[in-house]
Amino acid sequence: MWLCTGGTLLSAALAMEHAVAVHLGGGFHHAFADHGEGFCLINDVAIATAMLQRDNLIDKATIIDLDVHHGNGTAAIFADDPDVYTFSMHQEHNYPGWKPTSDLDVGLEDGITDDRYHELLEQHLRTIVNEHDAQIAFYLAGADPYREDQLGGLGLTIQGLRRRDEIVYEYLRAAGIPVAVTLAGGYAVNTDDTVEIHCNTLRAARDTYLRPTAAMRRL
């Protein structure tokens, strides 16, 4: 867990330099300041935020948590912190039972499908990037909103999740906000599906940020 948290710190630093960095782990959003729960011991994203602030690299951060489970630990840690905007879009009727208030909580009904999910996401991202002038975003790209996830109850497809990632990247890139990505949860019946969804999070980053120029395409 310490090593994995170190990866989130590294991703945060690299994101500040390169606009995007994806860590193959992290997103321990159920960890509170004083206890861990839900497979999470220490809140890596909270620590990474504190590190960037300590090093005077940022004042404000936005946390975009799209894991199927509410980001309860993150919400509690930053409840009284106006510099960190916490956004959680999750399945309402799922763990955790007690959901401390984020700056923006969007509790989704069971079984929501790609199109409606994308519509809601875009609507809220528009507001978030315009109203909170953060110098970094942390994106928790959970694979568990997948319709065949064992711990989730939403209805997204693998392609729909890839589009979700693209939407997040497109909005942040357009707003000039660097993003550090963590993978968070994923428990598909078929493990290959979870791997594919996580790999797509990287592919979407590559395709959004490293879009080949006309000159590159000629090579």
**Which residues are designated catalytic?**
30
Beta carbon of residue 67, minimum distance to Zn ion (angstroms, whole number): 4
Beta carbon of residue 13, minimum distance to Zn ion (angstroms, whole number): 25
| Contact predicate 114/160, CB 8 Å | yes
Helical H runs in the chain? 2-18, 44-54, 72-77, 114-131, 158-175, 191-209, 214-218
Given the rule CB under 5 A, which of 9-17, 18-26, 45-53, 135-143 is the region that contacts Zn ion?
Answer: 135-143
Q: Which is nearer to Zn ion, 67 or 196 (CB)?
A: 67
The interface with Zn ion within residues 174-193 (CB under 5 A) comprises: 185
Given the rule CB under 5 A, which of 67-75, 81-89, 103-111, 195-203 is the region that contacts Zn ion?
Answer: 67-75
Q: Which is nearer to Zn ion, 28 or 78 (CB)?
A: 28
Given the rule CB under 5 A, which of 86-94, 134-142, 159-167, 196-204 is the region that contacts Zn ion?
Answer: 134-142
Sheet containing 179-182: give its strands across.
20-22, 179-182, 136-140, 61-65, 84-91, 104-108
The interface with Zn ion within residues 141-170 (CB under 5 A) comprises: 142, 144
Beta carbon of residue 31, minimum distance to Zn ion (angstroms, whole number): 13
Angstrom distance (rounded) from CA 219 to CA 216: 5
Q: Which is nearer to Zn ion, 1 or 51 (CB)?
A: 1
Given the rule CB under 5 A, which of 63-71, 74-82, 115-123, 205-213 is the region that contacts Zn ion?
Answer: 63-71
Q: Which is nearer to Zn ion, 53 or 72 (CB)?
A: 72
Residue positions counted in the chain: 219
67 Cβ neighbours under 8 A, 6+ residues apart: 27, 29, 90, 140, 141, 142, 144, 145, 184, 185
Angstrom distance (rounded) from CA 10 to CA 3: 11
HSE, side-chain direction, 13 A CA sphere, residue 35: 3
Q: Tell me if the bond preceding 96 is cis, omega within 30° of 0.
A: yes
Q: Which is nearer to Zn ion, 73 or 142 (CB)?
A: 142
Contact status: 69 vs Zn ion (CB under 5 A): yes
Beta carbon of residue 69, minimum distance to Zn ion (angstroms, whole number): 4
Residue at shortest CB range from Zn ion: 185
Which residues sit at the interface with Zn ion, rule CB under 5 A? 67, 69, 142, 144, 185
